[in-house]
Amino acid sequence: MELISVGKISGTHHLMGTLKVSSNFEDLSILVGSKVIVKNTNGMSKILTVTNIKKLSPKRLAFDFEEITNKTDGVALSGYSIYVRKDILGLEEDEYYASDIIGMMAVTVEGEKLGEIVDVMETAGHDIYIIGKGKDEIMVPSVEEFVKDIDFEKKVVTFDLIEGMRP
């Protein structure tokens, strides 16, 4: 069972334990009635049942959980990430998860190997692919201008870099 993070709990929204969640997913209403795993960085986790999700702003949602009925219980989960089974969300044919890119080989349109994509940094505007590590690290915004092709069969992402993007 492969899990994917759908957001991070940033605090409480009401006295009844509603939680504010930062998320790059615009619509998670499919999760209502589902069980999710909330996990902190120390590995502590709980299984919770989603009872309601409301959009607060483009990247902020309000989650209600059956097991969280007051602000004190909600505050205790601040900083936890919310995980679901990857297959629950369903993707359109041309969509993918940012985590699917990690581990793929990065090459230029000229065929030069840049290295492995080691991380995807989420920002307000768009994701940023992190290629390589240390002094050789390259950061490339995930926009059409730079990302020319993603081949999931060959596990290769082709980039068109501009001057100044290389270390």
The pLDDT tens digits for 17-29 are 899 999 878 789 9
Q: Is the pLDDT of residue 47 over 70?
A: yes
Q: Is the pLDDT of residue 6 over 70?
A: yes
How far is Cα 82 from Cα 6, in angstroms, rounded to an integer?
6
CATH 2.40.30.60 in the chain: give the residue spans: 3-89
In terms of DSSP H, where are the helices of 14-159? 71-75, 86-89
CATH 2.30.30.240 in the chain: give the residue spans: 98-159
Cα separation values, 144 from 36, 149, 167, Å: 33, 9, 21
CATH of 98-159, one of 2.170.190.11, 2.60.120.620, 2.30.30.240, 2.60.120.10: 2.30.30.240
pLDDT digits (tens, 9 = 90+) for 68-127: 999 999 999 999 999 998 888 777 777 787 778 999 999 999 999 999 999 988 777 788
Q: What is the pLDDT of residue 123?
A: 76
Name the CATH topology of 3-89: Elongation Factor Tu (Ef-tu); domain 3 (2.40.30)
Taking alpha carbons only, the member of 114, 137, 140 closest to residue 129 is: 140
Edge-first strand listing for the sheet containing 138-141? 138-141, 127-131, 113-122, 105-108, 156-159, 147-151
Q: Is the pLDDT of residue 134 over 90?
A: no
Q: How confident is the model at residue 8 (pLDDT cuts 50, 70, 90)?
A: very high
Range with the poorest average pLDDT among 13-22, 45-54, 88-97, 132-141: 88-97
How far is Cα 129 from Cα 158, in angstroms, rounded to an integer?
12
Separation of first and last alpha carbons in the chain: 38
User: Is the pLDDT higher at 92 or at 140?
Assistant: 140
